[in-house]
Homo-oligomer: A and B are copies of this chain.
């Protein structure tokens, strides 16, 4: 599919998709047989990747971190051990985020309690 269809499937703008492509997160393929244009073609895996990118972004991962994860899963850039290390690293950082969120929840609940009891 071309970028417009990819955009419609993922809900991301063509600008954003091109930005992710420039950032190395996804990669379209140009058909060398066609000489009249240099349009990029995208497959279903790219749709998957973009969905993953959106999810990963909303939990706070940076483009760089997301790139590492994509490389650890879809590409042959790393050895098996390196891949596992990267993914474990990300799992640890998610555990950390969870802990911080739980702490923040506690704190906000305390705030609420203070508001309810006119202690602030």
Interface residues of A (CB under 8 A from B): 52, 55-56, 58-60, 69, 72-74, 80, 83-84, 87-88, 90-91, 94, 97-98, 100-101, 103-105, 107-109, 111-112, 114-116, 118, 120
Q: Which residue on B lies nearest to A76, using beta carbons?
A: B120
CA distance A88 to B72 in the complex (A): 38
Q: Which residue on B lies nearest to A78, using beta carbons?
A: B115
- Please pick, from B55, B58, B73, B98, the residue contacting A120 in the complex, using a CB distance under 8 A: B73
30 contacts between A and B (CB under 8 A): A55-B100, A55-B103, A55-B104, A59-B97, A59-B100, A69-B108, A69-B111, A72-B111, A72-B115, A73-B115, A80-B115, A80-B118, A84-B116, A87-B108, A87-B111, A87-B112, A87-B115, A88-B112, A91-B105, A91-B108, A91-B109, A94-B101, A94-B104, A94-B105, A94-B108, A97-B97, A97-B101, A98-B98, A98-B101, A101-B101
